[in-house]
Structure formats: C-alpha cells, structure tokens
Amino acid sequence: MARPHVLIIEHDEAVRLELERALGDEFSVLTAEDTASALSLVREHNPTIILLEIGFPPRPDNPEEGLRFLREIRKLGSVGKVIVCTGSGHRQHAVRAVSYGAYDVFSKPVDLDLLTLVMRRACWIAELERERVTLPPETEEEIEEMIGTSERIRRVFAAIRKVATTDVPVLVIGESGTGKELTAKAIHERSLRRSGPFVTINCGAIPETLLESELFGHERGAFTGAVQQKKGKVEYAHGGTLFLDEVGELPIALQVKLLRFLQDQTLERVGGRQQIQVDSRIIAATNMDLKEAIAQGKFREDLYYRLGVVAIDIPPLRERGEDVLLIALVFLKRVTEHMRKRLMGFTKEAIRAIQAYAWPGNVRELSNKIRRAVVMAEGPYIAPEDLDLSLPEGEEPPGPLSMKAARERLEMDLVVQALTLHSGNLRRVADELGISRPTLYLLLRKYGIRIPEKENKDKEKDKA
C-alpha cells in the first residue's frame, strides 16, 4: 500500500530535516521552501497532510504569509489536512488558521509522538472523505427526499407505507413547507398506480373563474375563448394520482362537483352534458384548519370526510427535534456539491442557532437558509451570520479560540461528518468513530446535538 504524502513547509532547515527523518519511515515526505514550489507540489501530489509553519518564508516574521497560503490551497479543493506549527508569539494567528480550515495546531517545539498520532488520524479522515462521493443508500428512516429519524416523522413514514397499498383518498395536513407534496409523491410512487401520471394543481393559485376548467376541463364554445375542447387535471390523472394542494381554497360550488366525483368517479366538463368515467386517486393537502372552515361555512363537512378517509399530519420542523440538524447536514452536502464549494460543516454556534430557531417556514425555509449560507460563507465553517440567524438569547459571539476550543471544534466536526454519512444512525456513527455508544452520547450532549428518542430508549436498555 502506498504511503501517504506529507508536505513539510518549514523555514528552519534544521527543523525541516528533523521532521523529514522522523516521519520518513511511515510517510512519503515532500518539502518546500517557497510559495511557488509548495503550490506546485500540492497540485502535483495532492498531499494527504501538509505541515505548515505559520511564519512562512520569505517573511518568517509575518504569519500572514502562512495564512494566505492556507487559504490559497483551500481554493484548490484539496482534501489534504493542514496541521499548523506555530511559536508562542503567533497564537492568535493559529486561531485564525483553525477558522480557515486547519485540521490541528501544534506549538513549537513539536512533540513528535503526538504529532505522529494526529497525522495517522488525519490520514484516516482524509481517506474517508475521498471515498465518500455520495450519501449512503436510502435507509428505512428515509422516504424519497424526506429525511428524519424522530418518532413523529417515523409515524408519517409508516402511514405512507400503509396507505400506499390501498386506493382510498388521503388528506395531508401540515404547515407550509413541511413536505406535503413530497408525502403525496411518496404515496404515489409506492402504490399500484406508480406507472400512471402524478398530476398536481394548487387550488389557491388559480383564479376562481378558471379553476373549474383547470380541474374538470371544458367543451368547445363553453365560454368566450374556449375555441377547442380541453381535458382537466382530473382526466389527465386517469390511471394515476391527482394531488390537490391547498384544497381548503376550493370555492363551495367546486367542492360540490369534487364531492360528486369522489362518490362515483364521473365528471362533466364545463359546457358539457356527457358523464365521463375517470379512474384517478385523490390526495389532497391543506395548511388550514378545515374543521374551523366547516364551522365558518367555508368548507363542506361531507367533502372533508370524503377526502380524509386517511389523514396524515406532517409535523412542523420545530417539533422534529434532532431531525433539524440532520436535514441541515444533508442539505449542506448537496448544495456544496452542486455549487462545487468546499465547506467543512457548521460552527458550534451555528448548530445552536439552527436548533434554537423556530423555523416558521419549515423544511423549505431551512433549505433556503443553507443555500444562502453556502453562498455567503467565507471560511470553511458556516457561522450563524451566514445563515442569517442569531445566537440563542443570552449567548455571546465567540471570542478567540483556545487550543482546547480548537480541538473541541475538530471533535465536533468529526461527529457531524459521521452523522451526515450515516443519516443519523448512532450505532453506525459510533462504529465509524471507533468509540463506544455511551461515549458518543456524551459527545452529543456536550455539543448540544439532541439524541433521537429511539436511541434514548436503546440507551436505557443498554443500562438495564
């Protein structure tokens, strides 16, 4: 097996030679003495590890050279891990190096035994990142684009699987942005109608004067401008599924016509007299309280019970606990890959802000926030301001990082990466990190990452 490449950038020749001798048995060592040669070696060999003296030549007294170099190689998209070596006088610059994506920081004189251990770990992480091109296949907790491990979303997944095998109407209830259309698509794709069309119509987005024609079609000459016969959405869904989004916005007159269709599966086009038989399944969705609309005379009670033979209540994101961070991590990976921008994760403060925010726009809002953050982020980690979120009340913005804080950030990042890779499966996360599950629980609590309810129950069983 080929030895991993290590690039040593050190202005002191004696130190450089000492490092080369100490590491040469285990690593393939490269050395550089100036910016041009260092960048050339990075491009040619893509070293697994870069040991960077923060006081970089040709001006070893100016740490800005090393920081500039660190940012430059990050633009190349290298997965190599940068370990910064610094003198005591350059501590604040070492802190900045961590914010620019340095894997670890060592003070001179370097403890070679400790450095070797850290380098081995860095090589393992870098190898995982090279191999992890895509997310793992769909797990039992994930349906289509719906992601989650919380108890409430698992109930939704179970309901989808059950109703998909039947042909009854389904009413999906939930706030805007919770994934009602995704739920409808998941039911359709798992039903016997999956080879048929999936037709959608937003009942609140079409003027009332046009909505009847859009739903049920019209005959030629039915009204001014009807120059030819037109099929409606219901007919186009023949053999498949019709998704009625915002069904609570249907006018009373159309509610009557929809009720008639649900009763006998026949319809009349606008201006027509012929009864047309159509075989299409109806899945409706709403973000309003239909029972209140019934009380106000705005929605027919008989239609409510016809549509809601089975009702699926999609929980808002604020009630899904640990799913918020998991979804954010998955979105981050997808967006960074699409935009070809390398980001290493969220800061601890960003994670707290994500978990503390109420998410009134739910998953749709979270997706938009992540897209914004990827565009706005300047460092390798997404901060609360990149997400346009503030820290939870009472928390202060972070000051300069200590060595301990820098190591904790690295530790948290490893946990976050493993959570993303295994879609929140804590047993697999613990196995990959090489730690016990009790240790993983301690880390999750330490960094404010909520433990899924199911895993809590497993933990209690482990203790018993």
Query: Domains (ranges, CATH) in the chain?
Result: 5-131 (3.40.50.2300), 151-314 (3.40.50.300), 321-463 (1.10.8.60)
Lowest-pLDDT range, 88-92, 146-150, 412-416?
88-92
CA dist 234 and 200 (Å) reads 10
Question: Which among 42, 43, 40, 67 is positioned nearest to 54, based on CA atoms?
Answer: 67
State mean pLDDT over 220-245: 89
State mean pLDDT over 365-381: 90
CA dist 52 and 38 (Å) reads 10
Lowest-pLDDT range, 19-28, 49-58, 289-298?
49-58
Q: What is the predicted pLDDT for the residue at 403? A: 61
Max avg pLDDT among 53-62, 174-183, 408-417: 174-183
State mean pLDDT over 146-167: 89
Q: Looking at the predicted structure, is the pLDDT value of residue 404 above 70?
A: no
Confidence of residue 301 (pLDDT cuts 50, 70, 90): very high
Q: Are strands 266-267 and 276-277 parallel, antiparallel or unpaired?
A: antiparallel
State mean pLDDT over 308-336: 90
Confidence of residue 163 (pLDDT cuts 50, 70, 90): very high
Long-range contacts of the stretch 34-39 (C-beta < 8 A, 24+): 34/58, 35/65, 35/69, 38/7, 38/9, 38/69, 39/69, 39/72, 39/73
End-to-end CA distance of the chain: 44
Cα distances (angstroms) measured from residue 58 to each of 30, 34, 70: 19, 7, 15
Q: Are 425 and 138 a contacting pair, CB within 8 Å? A: no
Max avg pLDDT among 74-88, 104-118, 125-139, 159-173: 159-173
CA dist 375 and 335 (Å) reads 10
Q: What is the predicted pLDDT for the residue at 421? A: 64
Q: What is the predicted pLDDT for the residue at 461? A: 46
Cα distances (angstroms) measured from residue 136 to each of 132, 148, 341: 9, 14, 21
Virtual torsion, Cα 211, 214, 216, 218, nearest 10 deg: 100
CA dist 83 and 48 (Å) reads 11
Quote the distance between the C-alpha of residue 161 and its chain's center.
23
